[in-house]
Amino acid sequence: SGTLYIVGTPIGNLSDFSPRAVQVLSSVDFIAAEDTRVTLKLLTHFGIKKPLISYFEHNKWQRGGGILDRIAAGENCALVSDAGMPAISDPGELLVKQAAERGIPVAAVPGPSAVVTALAVSGLPTGRFTFEGFLSVNRKSRREHLEEVKNEHRTMVFYEAPHKLLATLQDMLAAWGDRELALARELTKVHEEVRRTTLSEAAEYYSQNPPRGEFVLVIHGAAAPEKEVLSLEDATALARTLMAE
Ligand code: SAM
């Protein structure tokens, strides 16, 4: 059998594409791409010529089998998405699962991913975090998602599109109350910016300044519930009772 390579691509800055990624894309038999036009630009930039087939959200159930048949027959394939790591809020999860089920080797060629990049520059606790992806556009599932993570104490990372950013900040504020957050915008690009602020200030700011570009929201987890502390009087009374006993 051949191998399915999961190849990360830049999230903005082409210089982040690794020599190994170039070498793997140059050596595989074919490339499965989320959007072949986007990938063609990347390939042209690096002087790579390869047969491309499309593999995305709406054809993944039809296409997966054929791709894996070819790999099982000995061809090597690289899977790429438009930007960042495939399978992370991008096509790929299903193909990796199906490959694993068929015993087809899957190898990672890691590249940047907006979730880890944003977390690293957020200034918020990084020791433990949860990746929440995109909130649904459906009002009910959106509210359920926000409610579900209300007491999450780990740092949370969300992806969001610019035209939905303001509504998302307002919904988070309504669901959780005010919180610290970092908005990481246009990471690795010319207009890269990290705004470390609060939900209320960010909602106010973006209602005046329409958001542009790509955003990751890194949100402080819920504060730990206050530990019950005995007052000096109560502690003394408790000590007296215990000694009397
Ligand atoms: N697979 C990608 C990854 O590994 O990061 C994520 C793909 S997802 C469809 C696109 C979302 O990722 C954007 O809406 C944005 O939230 C985030 N994103 C991607 N590139 C970014 C960048 N350069 N700066 C900030 N956010 C980015």
pLDDT 10s digits, 145-204: 999 999 999 999 999 999 999 999 999 999 999 999 999 999 999 999 999 999 999 999
- Residue 171 Cβ inside 6 Å of ligand 1? The answer reads no
pLDDT for 83-99, tens place per residue? 999 999 999 999 999 99
ipTM > 0.95 for the complex: yes
- Residue 113 Cβ inside 6 Å of ligand 1? The answer reads yes
Strand order of the β-sheet with 180-185 is 129-134, 155-160, 215-219, 180-185, 193-198
| Res 226 pLDDT > 80 | no
- Residue 89 Cβ inside 6 Å of ligand 1? The answer reads yes
Residue with the smallest CA separation from ligand 1 atom 11 is 159
Give the pLDDT score at 157.
99
- Residue 184 Cβ inside 6 Å of ligand 1? The answer reads yes
Mutation test residue for ligand 1: of 6, 9, 11, the one with most atoms within 8 Å of CB: 11
Give the pLDDT score at 238.
86
- Residue 32 Cβ inside 6 Å of ligand 1? The answer reads no
pTM: 0.91
Q: Using the mean position of ligand 1's atoms as its centre, give its distance from the Cα of residue 164 in Å.
A: 14
